[in-house]
Structure 1
Amino acid sequence: MTNMILDHYEINKNTAALLPAYHTDYQTTVWEKERRFHVKKTPHELIKEACLEGGADYNGRKAAVTYKTGVSIKVPIPLIPQEQIYAFPTHSPKLHECHWLFYHHIKTIQRHPDTPTHTIITFKDEKELLLHVSYHTMERQLQRTSYCITRFTPYLTYN
């Protein structure tokens, strides 16, 4: 596990989650497979930068998803669709408590056994994240992202 503080972080295929941090030295905790980083930029800033790396700006990606899926709140974002990197927010991206989760790293979601307003996310590396978000909301976000992926995956062409 790494606890270094980075000025910059580039979202990649290993990025599993961007968690808002309540710390004076950094604003995001990045979860990757087997590693953690702290980054001075906010999760939303990192998402916007990844969109640009993927060939479009955040507002364009968001508008395209809304156009193709009808989803207009807590919109999943195809950050780098050609690399199958899709993320979705747990809250409105305008809120500080918004976490960004990366669809292809999620193994399961489960209701918290004692608190119905909480959900346990298990990632493929078996790490768990407790979120202050209802199971219903998380399930809906996963479904929206899955639909987004099917709408943005290029169709194979046959000659």
Structure 2
Amino acid sequence: MEIRDTHLLNEKTVLVTGEYNNRGELWSRVIEGEETFLVRKAPIAIIEETLLHVGSDFLGARRSSKYLLSPMRMHPISINPQMGILLFPTQSMKCYSCIWFSLIHVKTTKSIGINKTEVLTSFGHTILLDMAERAFKNRRHNAIQLQETISKNLKCPLYFYVEPKMGFYISKSPKDNNFTLEKK
């Protein structure tokens, strides 16, 4: 089993959850693409480090989610809206067994009994949860709402300058105080 000291969440991250090692330290189990590995950090620490790399932090991401969504428990958080990376928890983030799913990788769900749900994700992974399908779908729906709200808010005009390949030589004449443009 591969063990890493650090890891940043990315567009291939399917989920991150807590797992205790044999010394009782809380580490993270990460499923990324077709591989799984352990990271010597708690899930919230990995999320925090990833957010810091994109100019945010965990508290700010939670505060933003609370601001944009109606009052609820267990808010989803946006990790990188430009790349569509959004996580939502299966239970309280204080619970070590909380699974943070990446919204883009949850494909379908299936109820298995009263309080069991099977989640099919990208890359063919199937995760069995001890929670009702309805509760999981509600958390996923909240994440979709957050994603849609952020996407709507980001649709503002972009202004950028494109430097032409062939430009001008610009000079200002001291005599008439006007600019002179000459093609290069």
TM-score normalised by L of structure 1: 0.90
- Aligned partner of 1:130 in structure 2 is 128
Q: How does 1:1-150 map to 2 (within 5 A)?
A: 3-24=1-22, 27-112=27-112, 115-150=113-148
- Aligned partner of 2:165 in structure 1 is none
In structure 2, do the counterparts of structure 1 residues 72 and 53 end up closer, same or farther at CA, with 3 Å as the change threshold?
Answer: farther
Q: Which has the higher contact order (CA 8 A, sep 6+)?
A: 1
SS in 2 for 1:139: helix
In structure 2, do the counterparts of structure 1 residues 71 and 82 end up closer, same or farther at CA, with 3 Å as the change threshold?
Answer: farther
- Which structure has more strand as a fraction of its residues? 2
Which amino acid is the alignment partner of residue 12 of structure 2?
A: N
SS in 2 for 1:21: strand
- Measured after TM superposition, the shift of residue 156 of structure 1 is 5.0
**Runs of 4 or more off by more than 6 Å in structure 1?**
none
In structure 2, do the counterparts of structure 1 residues 23 and 150 end up closer, same or farther at CA, with 3 Å as the change threshold?
Answer: same
- Measured after TM superposition, the shift of residue 103 of structure 1 is 0.4
Unaligned runs of 5+ in 1: none
What is the alpha-carbon distance in structure 1 between the residues aligned to residue 158 and residue 125 of structure 2? Answer: 41
The structure with more radius of gyration: 2
What is the alpha-carbon distance in structure 2 between the residues aligned to residue 34 and residue 71 of structure 1? Answer: 36
* More deviation, 49-58/37-46: 49-58
TM-score normalised by L of structure 2: 0.79
What is the alpha-carbon distance in structure 1 between the residues aligned to residue 72 and residue 60 of structure 2? Answer: 13
Contact 1:53-1:80 within 8 A present in 2 as well: no
Count of aligned pairs between the two proteins: 155
Percent identity at matched positions? 24
- Measured after TM superposition, the shift of residue 84 of structure 1 is 1.0
Which amino acid is the alignment partner of residue 137 of structure 1?
A: A
In structure 2, do the counterparts of structure 1 residues 32 and 158 end up closer, same or farther at CA, with 3 Å as the change threshold?
Answer: closer
Contact 2:17-2:96 within 8 A present in 1 as well: no
Instruction: Give the alignment's Cα RMSD to 1 decimal.
Output: 1.7
What is the alpha-carbon distance in structure 2 between the residues aligned to residue 158 and residue 20 of structure 1? Answer: 40
Unaligned runs of 5+ in 2: 160-184
Which amino acid is the alignment partner of residue 127 of structure 1?
A: H
SS in 2 for 1:51: helix
Contact 1:54-1:81 within 8 A present in 2 as well: no
In structure 2, do the counterparts of structure 1 residues 58 and 110 end up closer, same or farther at CA, with 3 Å as the change threshold?
Answer: same
- Measured after TM superposition, the shift of residue 132 of structure 1 is 1.1
